[in-house]
Structure 1
Amino acid sequence: MSKLEMDIIQDFITECKLSGHMSKNTTKSYQCDLNKLQEYLDEQNITEVSRVTEKVLKDHLTRLSEKGYSPATIARNIVSIKALFKHLVKEKYVNLDASENLVAPKVELPKVNVLTRKQIEDLMNMPDTRTAKGQRDSAMLELMYATGIKVSELVAVKVSDIDMQLGNIECRNEKKDRVIPFDKRTKEVIQRYLQDGRRHLIKSTDEELLFINYQGEPMSRQGVWKLVKNYAGRADIRVPITPEALRHSFAAHLVERGADIEAVQLMMGHVSPVSTVRYARENRDYLRDVYDRTH
């Protein structure tokens, strides 16, 4: 491509950065993937964006496969290319979307354990909220399902991380901080725990952590695991269940209700949208529609 044509890609990346609707990791992925496309177009002496046809794009993807790139990486490249062409059509650089018929290769991901909504409801009803422990356990279960946070993140949540007015939680981990909203029901459960149950568990009013155990010490990941397993047994949920099942169920139910993949990706803290794709893999047409609308 000529310098002018190269600027089209850079303009797209800049727009992504300034939009405020896209994570830094997604923008970096777009940049990396489109750099590969640029290199291929240079090799083919294609200097005008109007000459980038569906065949050119498919040949580029075939080249990536021949170079040993995994199906997951190629799927991510397709997402990036589709995002670029959506931009090109919108800005009238091209009339037709050459990426429209690109189909991602099948990406094999570990099967995730997703609970039904009835199983979730039964689980949430198990804690005895007349007790301090029950109020704490109810708040933990609700927060895990309502936000999809990991156990390691849950046990590290501080009271100051919860914004009751806005209804969201600031989640911190080693990769990236993120803010996740939660619903009215979860807000009410947390509010009850903060106003009543928690004060019976803490040893000091200076305690920063939201969730603590009987001894007034931080909850452990193993403690949360046992808690979830115990309530699952009492709810007669006979499928294997761990705290991760609540995280997966959160994402799966959001996708089922029509949430955009990127929105779920941001809430889950996934680096790649491919990780989020697993929750919609049973319905390929639906997944394609979500991708088209999102990217």
Structure 2
Amino acid sequence: SGNGCLCTSQYEGRCCDVDKPLGVGVGRSTRCGGTLSTPSGGPVTSPNYPSNYGNNENCQWLITAPAGSTISLTFDSFDLESNYDYLTIFDGPSDSAAQLLRLSGSPVNPATTSTSNMMFIKFTSNWHVTRRGFSFYYTSSVFNCDFELGLCGWRQAHDDNFDWIRHSGSTPSDDTGPSADHTTGSGYYIYIETSSGSSGSVARVISPLVTTTSAKCVQFWYHMYGRDVNRLRVYMKTGSSLGNPVWTRTGAQGNQWRSGQVDIPAGISFND
């Protein structure tokens, strides 16, 4: 009526002072927010999906993965009122963490990956127009890293001679290294600058600790180009022992990215 209130999707009554029962109209959704666990899950949706979400929604999700992991988010549907309703994704446990994405409207195939083992997601709508909403899936992986937002939990070794460098674009030395990253062509990768070390110098980067309950396959892309390229090795470090390399390439391999992989047996804890 003319003296009534415009209620949010969670309330009803003349003055919006009564909780609306679940399942009534565009009422509160049991999937609107909560704590989610990995290794994978979904679909996670906006309230009432695939019908329209309600006005003045405020949904918050916290996704937590094991220490050392990262979390990847992909959408199979996304449609919000442009510039008024938002889904914001944060790189940490709350909305005070760094912002990864702020989505509105109908972006094409949005996706993002955290740099830590926590991701906070917040959906808000205003009091007016509503849309179909969204549906997303999430996965976690220790090795799912494209270096866009850092080292993804990997760390520099302290018992080597120099460090790997995170970089975008061509390497600074002429006739060496890639001209762009493999994943997007405009993103980041890590490399070593051979002018930083002498012959025989070693630079190592170490993964977070991984425990396998089933056999795994570690896949990666590498680029070995330049006259001073020596050797690239992958180790499966268990405990304090570096052990023997499980994968090796020696000498220049051409000015192109190449694929490598290592098979990991079940029932061990290791660093790569």
Higher relative contact order (CA 8 A, sep 6+): 1
Is the TM-score greater than 0.5?
Answer: no
Tell me the TM-score normalised to structure 1 length: 0.24
Between Structure 1 and Structure 2, the one with more helix by share is 1
Between Structure 1 and Structure 2, the one with more strand by share is 2
